[in-house]
């Protein structure tokens, strides 16, 4: 059971609430923004700390002081120390203890979490910007995998953590990670690549020009084709729309999108399904950004389907 003593700042309820607060900040950021993984890394730490606190806040107490002051604090007892400041164990120790305590928290998951937290430390304590070029494909599925395992230990679900819409998308991503059969898409990519290489130079140049003209942001998320390296488009399903925000007198609406389809007009490669896209390295979520005149936006009552102001990954 969780320790409910209000004297301790390491009670389960406090840590769980903080993990939710940071995750809401992450989900409010565009998916291609460095703020998305930054806030998510903070949230992950507190999900892990909450997992330990649910067993006992004592697992979070620093034990370097001989008088056991931090252990006393964890037990809800006020230490006899002037201007006392609670000190908990480092995040790396939290993850190590989770690996020992949480049955499904494997060493592989611990290694991912440690690397993700290290990026956060680099962001905060150095001149580096590790989150600025981090694709959601490289971390988001593993992030949800780690959170899902920790939440299961707490008898909670991803829906409790991120809401039903995001949780549904997360489950799709987790299925993609586990779907070994999806890796067969690499054979398809290699086959199209060989055909592309066999074409004459002038034919390849002409086809790349066509692809460049057709791969426009208002039609989808522009990426590089894994077979021929030409500009290509990824489209997908909306996950969640953020509330409209007024920016420079224009109403901006951002929607997180889960990729489901890819098409290249240069070499002809087409990939369908999130599992296949994930295996091809194209499964990262992205943000669809729409811009409206405020008067027109609020004057229309029915759902807006599409208009030329819609762009993908434009933030």
Going from N- to C-terminal start, the domains of the chain cover 12-178, 181-312
Cβ contacts of 256 within 8 Å, gap of 6 or more: 27, 31, 166, 169, 238, 239, 240, 241, 242, 285, 286, 287, 288
Q: What is the pTM of this model?
A: 0.75
Helix/strand/coil (H, E, C) string of 151-200?
Answer: HHHCCCCHHHHHCHHHHHHHHHHHHHHHCHHHHHHHHHHHHHHHHHHHCC
Low-confidence ranges of the chain (pLDDT < 70): 1-7, 180-181, 300-315
CB 208 within 8 A of CB 266: yes
CB neighbours (10 Å) of residue 39? 22
> Which fold, 12-178?
1.20.120
pLDDT at 276: 86
Question: What is the helix (H) or strand (E) element at residue 256, kind and residue range?
Answer: strand 250-263
pLDDT at 313: 52
pLDDT at 311: 57
pLDDT at 122: 95
Question: What is the helix (H) or strand (E) element at residue 232, kind and residue range?
Answer: strand 231-241
CB 156 within 8 A of CB 47: no
pLDDT at 5: 46
Cα–Cα nearest to 170, from 27, 13, 12, 11: 27
pLDDT at 83: 87
CA distance linking residue 88 with residue 301, whole number of Å: 52
Helices (H), 75-155: 91-101, 107-125, 136-153
Question: What is the helix (H) or strand (E) element at residue 296, kind and residue range?
Answer: helix 294-299
pLDDT at 164: 95
CA distance linking residue 258 with residue 166, whole number of Å: 10
The distance between the two most distant Cα atoms of the chain, rounded to a whole number of Å, is 81
pLDDT digits (tens, 9 = 90+) for 142-194: 999 999 999 999 999 999 999 999 999 999 998 888 776 677 899 999 999 99
């Amino acid at each position: 059971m969780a320790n409910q003593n209000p004297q301790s700042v390491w009670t389960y309820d406090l840590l769980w609430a903080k993990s939710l607060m940071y995750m809401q900040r992450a989900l409010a950021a565009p998916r291609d923004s460095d703020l998305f993984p930054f806030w998510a890394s903070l949230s992950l730490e507190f999900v892990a700390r909450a997992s330990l606190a649910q067993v006992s806040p004592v697992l979070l107490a620093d034990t370097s002081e001989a008088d056991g002051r931090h252990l006393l604090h964890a037990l809800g007892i006020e230490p006899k120390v002037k201007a006392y400041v609670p000190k908990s164990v480092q995040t790396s120790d939290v993850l190590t203890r989770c690996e020992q305590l949480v049955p499904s928290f494997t060493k592989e998951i611990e290694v991912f979490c440690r690397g993700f937290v290290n990026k956060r430390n680099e962001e905060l304590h150095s001149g580096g910007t590790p989150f600025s070029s981090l694709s959601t494909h490289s971390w988001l599925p593993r992030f949800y995998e780690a959170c899902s395992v920790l939440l299961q230990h707490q008898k909670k679900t991803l829906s409790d953590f991120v809401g039903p819409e995001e949780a549904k998308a997360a489950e799709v991503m987790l299925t993609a990670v586990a779907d070994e059969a999806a890796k067969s898409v690499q054979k398809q990519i290699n086959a199209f690549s060989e055909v592309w290489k066999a074409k004459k130079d002038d034919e390849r140049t002409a086809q790349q020009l066509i692809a460049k003209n057709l791969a426009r942001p208002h039609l989808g998320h522009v990426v590089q084709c894994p077979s021929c390296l030409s500009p290509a488009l990824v489209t997908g399903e909306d996950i969640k729309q953020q509330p409209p925000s007024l920016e420079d007198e224009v109403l901006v609406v951002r929607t997180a999108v889960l990729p489901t389809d890819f098409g290249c007009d240069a070499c002809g490669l087409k990939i369908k399904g999130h599992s296949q896209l994930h295996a091809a390295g194209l499964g990262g979520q992205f943000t669809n950004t729409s811009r409206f005149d405020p008067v027109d936006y609020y004057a229309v009552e029915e759902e807006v389907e599409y208009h030329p102001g819609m762009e993908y990954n434009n933030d």
